[in-house]
């Protein structure tokens, strides 16, 4: 097992002169860490202790697997019931545009500084170390609870087949296999998630084709409906209020649902330091991921809006299993019995995949916090094959919280804790966009052309500004329903807003204790980072050949 060493260690006798120069460049700050002047200084720990086992195809499919989950397969019917077919379509398309801004902003900043922990570490460079501390621990806490919650979801999904085995057995089985994947080489994790993503894509494409054929009357015995349900009950559904205002609130409520459906796309850069040629791979991945996720979601919403009526009472039921999926309802009408089990099986792999990704993202953020001494240094210990095993072990330990399902009172407490980070995805998106805007502000302040960035798009600063406005607006209004007459709910308020207070409190406490300072634009070491990138270009990326090239459009 590799022991944690000094953060800016440069190994090798031949590098002694470089190490001495790097040491001379270190400047002590009020926080007790160092400011640095080159790209290698930001990632010295990762270069020494972690392994680059992920390629661009892994990144693309990991982000797809993380973003296409139970929300797409099971919960779209609920969105149709809330906002109507057209209201839901517009909402998902609008959130897709925000995801585009987030993905491109993340890609530009990560291509410049590809470090473990991604935008959490970027916040320390471009804003304030206290912001990185607050964001990092918020993500760690959320993922500590996400891993057991996904295992709980798997147990619920298995009950679709009326399993006689005790839930405790299934919990233990999935804890063991989750641990096995987490402690294995990062390359194996990438291949497993790659396989899960392929399964999801095959199912989504199949369901879209099936839904289109069914809606157009291509299934024997099923009446052609086309866009009939857009006319009656109508394209929009009033929510809480009546008239135009009620229809708008229905659209806005679906926006909130869509955000959590798209969550996970930001995981594409969490393991940047474990990615081969990250300055090429991550930009390619974020471009592909945005397009594919948006197309799949928009097409799925369009088809579901054709398949089921927005006032169908079955859409108001629980979406814990495949039983109330709108695709299953259409399959039952067509007399096709196999589809419910197929959907449920793939959703189980989706839940396990989401748990794996929560563990990967959380453990790498925890490792990144330890690098900056925002967490105990023991968390930097890695295996000989490059896995931060102490960080991973903390997440495996928290996965045993899934056994709280054995007690009705305990599971209530567990979900109360889960609610504390209900709006975490909006906070993360806001941080990504803010980091990007700070990067471009620093470029202007220092007179550096954006064209020197490893990846640059002329329109992204404007997209980030607009995207940040809407993410903050959605963050402040995501719990609007609890403020309307007769709809007050303490748990709803906590889910929607308490996480904002937790992040603000963590930021304030760390800033007061460590007396951190807001990073001035002129002090962000862009010139040193860019010079090192120019001196050490990455090797040309591998291009698929032969048969693989015919299907590589999925990820390339």
For residue 527, tell me if it sits in a domain. Answer: yes
**In three state form, how does the secondary structure of 470-509 look?**
HHHHHHHHCCHHHHCCCCCCHHHHHHHHHHHHHHHHHHHH
Mean pLDDT by groups of 10 residues along the chain of 556 residues: 42 37 39 48 72 81 71 80 94 92 94 90 93 94 89 84 83 94 91 86 86 84 84 92 94 89 80 83 81 82 89 72 76 79 85 87 92 91 92 95 80 70 88 97 96 94 97 94 88 87 95 93 92 84 61 60
Provide φ and ψ at 100, rounded to 5°: -60, -50
How many Å apart are CA 62 and CA 191, to the nearest integer?
Answer: 9
Name every residue whose Cβ is closer than 8 Å to that of residue 428 and which is 6 or more positions away in sequence.
119, 135, 139, 266
In a domain, 45, yes or no: no
pLDDT of amino acid 38: 54
Picking from 102, 83, 101, 103, the residue whose alpha carbon sits closest to that of residue 92 is: 83
> Using an 8 Å Cβ cutoff, are 333 and 326 in contact?
no
User: What is the chain's alpha carbon radius of gyration, rounded to the nearest angstrom?
Assistant: 24
Quick one: pLDDT at residue 162?
Answer: 74
CA 367 – CA 378 distance, rounded (Å): 9
Tally of structural domains, the chain: 1
Residue 41 domain flag: no
In a domain, 521, yes or no: yes
Beta carbons within 10 angstroms of residue 221's beta carbon: 7
C-beta of residue 232 within 8 angstroms of C-beta of residue 226: no
Q: State the pLDDT at residue 129.
A: 93
Please give the full DSSP string across 426-463, using - where no structure is assigned.
HHHHHHHHHHHHHHHHHHHHHT--GGGSSS--TTHHHH
pLDDT the model gives residue 457: 93
| Peptide bond preceding 233 in cis form (omega within 30 of 0) | yes
Query: The domain that contains 385 carries what CATH number?
Result: 1.20.1740.10
Residue 90 is part of which domain span?
51-538
Instruction: Specify if 106 maps to a domain.
Output: yes
Nearest CA to 281 out of 555, 7, 6 is that of 555
Question: Running DSSP on this structure, what letter comes out for residue 27?
Answer: E
Domain membership of residue 43 (yes or no) is no
pTM of this prediction exceeds 0.75: yes
Q: Are the C-beta atoms of residues 145 and 398 closer than 8 Å to each other?
A: yes
- 20 lies in some domain: no
Q: Which two tokens stand for residue 477?
A: 């209004």
1 within domain boundaries: no
């Amino acid at each position: 097992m590799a022991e944690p060493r000094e953060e800016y260690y440069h190994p090798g006798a031949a590098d002694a002169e470089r190490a001495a120069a790097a040491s001379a460049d270190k400047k002590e700050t009020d926080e007790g860490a160092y400011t640095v002047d080159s790209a290698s200084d930001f990632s010295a720990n990762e270069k020494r202790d972690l392994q680059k086992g992920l390629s661009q195809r892994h990144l693309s499919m990991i982000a797809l697997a993380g973003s296409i989950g139970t929300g797409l397969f099971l919960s779209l019917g609920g969105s149709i019931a809330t906002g109507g077919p057209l209201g839901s379509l517009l909402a998902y398309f609008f959130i897709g545009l925000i995801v585009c801004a987030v993905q491109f902003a993340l890609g530009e900043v990560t291509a410049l500084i590809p470090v473990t922990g991604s935008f959490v570490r970027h916040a320390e460079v471009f804003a304030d170390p206290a912001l990185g501390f607050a964001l990092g621990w918020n993500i760690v806490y959320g993922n500590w609870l996400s891993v057991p919650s996904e295992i709980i979801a798997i147990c619920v999904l298995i009950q679709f087949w009326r399993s006689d085995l005790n839930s405790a057995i299934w919990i233990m089985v999935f804890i063991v296999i989750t641990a096995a994947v987490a402690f294995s080489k990062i390359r194996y994790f990438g291949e497993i998630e790659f396989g899960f993503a392929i399964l999801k894509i095959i199912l989504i494409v199949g369901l879209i084709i099936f839904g289109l054929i069914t809606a157009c009357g291509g299934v024997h015995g099923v009446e052609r409906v086309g866009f009939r349900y857009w006319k009656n009950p109508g394209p929009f559904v009033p929510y809480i209020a009546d008239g135009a205002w009620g229809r708008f609130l229905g659209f806005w409520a679906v926006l909130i649902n869509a955000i959590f459906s798209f969550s996970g796309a930001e995981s594409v850069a969490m393991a940047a330091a474990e990615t081969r040629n990250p300055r090429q791979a991550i930009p390619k991945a974020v471009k592909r991921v945005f397009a594919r996720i948006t197309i799949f979601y928009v097409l799925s919403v369009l088809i579901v809006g054709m398949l089921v009526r927005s006032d169908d009472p079955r859409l108001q039921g629980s979406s814990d299993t495949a039983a109330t999926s709108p695709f299953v309802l259409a399959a039952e009408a067509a007399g096709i019995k196999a589809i419910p089990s197929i959907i449920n099986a793939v959703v189980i792999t989706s839940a396990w995949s989401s748990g794996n990704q929560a563990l990967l993202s959380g453990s790498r953020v925890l490792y990144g916090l330890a690098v900056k001494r925002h967490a105990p240094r023991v968390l930097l210990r890695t295996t000989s094959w490059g896995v931060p095993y102490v960080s991973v072990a903390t997440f495996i330990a928290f996965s045993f919280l899934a056994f709280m399902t054995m007690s009705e009172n305990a599971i209530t407490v567990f979900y109360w804790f889960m609610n504390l980070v209900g709006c975490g995805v909006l906070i993360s998106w806001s941080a990504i966009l803010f980091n990007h805007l700070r990067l471009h502000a620093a470029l202007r302040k220092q007179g550096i052309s954006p064209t020197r960035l490893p990846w640059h798009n002329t329109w992204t600063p404007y997209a980030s500004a607009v995207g940040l406005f809407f993410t903050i607006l959605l963050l402040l209004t995501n719990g609007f329903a609890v403020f309307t007459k007769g709809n007050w709910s303490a748990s709803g308020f906590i889910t929607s807003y308490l996480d904002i207070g937790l992040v603000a409190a963590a930021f304030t406490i760390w800033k007061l204790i460590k007396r951190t300072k807001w990073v001035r634009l002129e002090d962000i070491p862009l010139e040193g980072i860019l010079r090192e990138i120019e001196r050490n270009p990455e090797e040309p990326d591998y291009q698929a050949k032969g048969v693989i090239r015919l299907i590589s459009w999925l990820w390339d």
